[in-house]
Chain A
């Protein structure tokens, strides 16, 4: 197991120990040990069906854990951005309504207050989509959809952002923008945990990368983790790793492993 990068004496924000999860009788996660420390920026990569979403859901507490334990620091506010395919885009809500929803614990009055309206505007402006506030959620592009749910997560001023495939279904430019946005948020002091299928476009740029397939197969910097040996163990297919300008580049022969790209 990898030691935390920050040698602080603070306990991790999230500590998964010996975690396994099952759907019915089929095991989905197996013996997962993962610590997320404050101010870290961690990416999880792994093939489709490897249990990435399940792991995130276990961390946010919506998926029961069969064995082991997940310790979350008390009073920790988690902002969760779900995998975009799992959202019901036909649901009758506007962007503003989606974002204000997160205030439902402290506010009960149905109408959106002027104060909330201003706060929504601020968040949307920060993410560069101020003009979509009154649109129905179906009337958005893939990149805007991603940002709306990022805005919702940001709205409750979280300590940690948990994002499930934040660059799925967007073009190269939008992917860049989202990556920069997340980097800025990280620089502002936010802890970030995300999953991705995009090895070269996203994962290789992160400070810490976890290769995952039902359990953790490697955990470290992209240079340490992105090796053909680790990738073959993760994806079950041979992959070549080249180097370009000090960055690892994954070449995958034949199979398309990077679902998030150009979809």
Chain B
């Protein structure tokens, strides 16, 4: 009885309930888009984008602009910029992305140092904070999740084709650049609405780990699109609860749980299925 009460204790707090809803939806959303991130070898871009959005978040805080507006525009612009740079298969595209995003990150840090309320808010942005979650975040993450679902369902075939075989998709009149731009915009939006809970530094892990675990459980693209969001949502839900009872950071607990799931799947999958990971060698 006491134990049961204990489990439900955090649910008495409004902030926890809000955080839990946002984190669970965010987990599903990141799991869904993560499938494309790992199959396209874009994990580095996810990492870079989250740092870029951080700059936008800081700038909008300083300029007293709405977070979603300021950081959103910033994120989408850097997403499109990265898409452009990445398309010009010049040697050093990686480095160029690194420059754009880390500069944006550094700018954010400097702005927060200079104008923000010192280290507390920086920590909140870097590692996420359940306390900072508001009702508007629930709307935002739900909206982006619905949008993400619509994009994946409506664009399923084009997304699959251009991910598997860009050249031939192009020959078959699929507008590959448009597909890639939409995907990047979706990833930017996801990062934007997830950042307040998970934080800049750990978002890319949420984009990569559930999808990588899902990849090891199946050889089917469509099944991967189911399994990965489920892993993402469940680990976020359980992780949030655990973090309350263990008094650990929510984002760290979630990512550790994801990593744990990955290790378990990896161990169970056996050597034959482990070969599937060879395709993710770039991670």
Contact = CB atoms under 8 A, between A and B. Distances in A.
Given A92-B218, A92-B219, A110-B157, A156 B164 contact: no
A104 B157 contact: yes
B73 interface: no
Contacts of B170: 61-62
B199 to A, nearest CB: 30
Interface stretch (B124-132, B240-248, B272-280): B272-280
Query: For chain B, what secondary structure do more than half of its interface residues adopt (helix, strand, loop), or is it mixed?
Result: helix
A135 to B, nearest CB: 9
Contact of A101 (B90, B155, B157): B157
Contacts of B171: 60-62, 78, 80
A98 B169 contact: no
B167 A110 contact: no
B43 to A, nearest CB: 16
Contact of A93 (B90, B164, B167): B164
B165 interface: yes
Interface residues of B, number: 34
B222 interface: yes
B221 interface: yes
Nearest to A136: B219
A60 B167 contact: yes
B238 interface: no
A192 to B, nearest CB: 16
Contacts of B267: none
Interface in A91-111: 91-94, 97-98, 100-105, 107-110
Contact of B160 (A80, A90, A93): A93
Interface string B203-226: 000000000000100111110100
Contacts of B173: 105
B168 A91 contact: no
A74 to B, nearest CB: 13
B156 interface: yes
A93 B222 CA distance: 9
A143 interface: no
A93 B172 CA distance: 18
Contacts of B279: 88-91
A80 B167 contact: yes
A107 B171 CA distance: 16
A104 B167 contact: no
Contact of A110 (B90, B219, B222, B224): B222
A62 B171 CA distance: 7
Given A62-B167, A80-B167, A104-B172, A92 B161 contact: no
A168 B126 CA distance: 51
23 contacts: A24-B91, A57-B167, A61-B170, A61-B171, A80-B168, A89-B279, A90-B276, A90-B278, A92-B39, A92-B215, A92-B221, A92-B224, A94-B220, A97-B160, A101-B157, A104-B157, A104-B169, A105-B158, A105-B173, A108-B154, A108-B156, A138-B219, A152-B168
Interface of A: 24, 57, 60-62, 78, 80, 82, 87-94, 97-98, 100-105, 107-110, 136, 138, 152, 156
8 nearest A-B pairs in the assembled complex, by CB-CB distance: A90-B279, A104-B157, A110-B156, A62-B167, A136-B219, A101-B161, A60-B171, A104-B161
Interface of B: 39, 90-91, 153-158, 160-161, 163-174, 215, 218-222, 224, 275-276, 278-279
